[in-house]
Amino acid sequence: MSRIGKLPIKIPESVDISLLDSEITVKGKFGTLQTKIPEMIGIHQDNGVLVISLKNQSRNVRSLHGLYRTLINNMVIGVSEQFNITLILQGVGYRGVVESKTLVLNLGYSHQVKIEIPDKVSVEIEKNTTINLKGCDKEQLGLFAANIRAWRKPEPYKGKGILYKGEQILRKAGKSGK
């Protein structure tokens, strides 16, 4: 049995959870999230605690136990606290600006990179080189951050690129001249 799947989920007072058939909806102060749960997985709510159980013990069902517990826990955390991802633009002339619902980046190309900001994600820029992303949906937030980073991944020779906060780049030595 999954060790993660057995753990109960504590529900904050500001979060409302509703279960209809195989769909779970989580509402909080930062938004509403919903997802479908397979019928083989049971959910019980008792005194501010949510418990995920299995209806049968087949191998396929057991493999989903911890996954759906984690997905539901991320939904609860997202609507009550929000998730944060910080990206750092490192390079000469690299900077970003938010224009209405578009993130405009100068990344050393001959043109500006324009990226549409999803509805459930908010973007703040500090000092032109630090991008703070906030959102209640962890999957959508991580995907958006990865799409931004894909425009300039960090390179090991000069250390330029778009980095996650706290990320270390393993630097390589360049060509040795004679």
Task: Report the half-sphere exposure of 89 (CA within 13 A, side-chain side).
Answer: 21
Confidence of residue 31 (pLDDT cuts 50, 70, 90): confident
Give the pair of three-digit tokens for residue 177: 């001249």
Can you tell me the mean pLDDT for 27-42? 88
- Give dist(CA 90, CA 159) in Å, integer: 8
Range of the domain at 143: 83-164
Does residue 177 carry a pLDDT above 80?
no
At which of 80, 108, 134 does a domain end? 80
Q: In terms of DSSP H, where are the helices of 32-155?
A: 59-80, 138-149
Q: Do residues 76 and 9 both lie within one domain?
A: yes
- What CATH number is associated with residue 63? 3.90.930.12
pTM (2 decimals)?
Answer: 0.84
Tell me whether residue 37 is in a domain: yes
SS3 content of the chain, % helix, strand, coil (to 5): 20, 40, 40
pLDDT tens figures, 119-174: 889 999 999 889 999 999 999 999 999 999 999 898 888 888 999 998 888 888 88
Q: Do residues 19 and 59 both lie within one domain?
A: yes
Q: How many domains does the chain have?
A: 2
At which of 29, 47, 80 does a domain end? 80
pLDDT at 27: 92
pLDDT tens figures, 48-106: 888 888 888 888 778 888 888 889 999 999 999 999 999 999 888 899 999 889 999 99
102-106, strands of its sheet edge to edge: 95-99, 102-106, 113-116
Which residue, among 167, 177, 8, has the nearest Cα to 86 in the 3D structure?
Answer: 167
Q: What are the angstrom distances between the C-alpha of 97 and each of 1, 101, 132?
A: 48, 11, 12
Quote the percentage of the chain above a pLDDT of 90: 35
pLDDT at 174: 81
Q: Do residues 10 and 73 both lie within one domain?
A: yes
- Give dist(CA 69, CA 154) in Å, integer: 34
Q: Crossing angle for the helix pair 59-80 and 138-149, nearest 10 degrees?
A: 80
pLDDT at 178: 67
pLDDT at 146: 93
Q: Do residues 61 and 130 both lie within one domain?
A: no
Q: Do residues 88 and 160 both lie within one domain?
A: yes
pLDDT at 2: 66
pLDDT at 5: 77
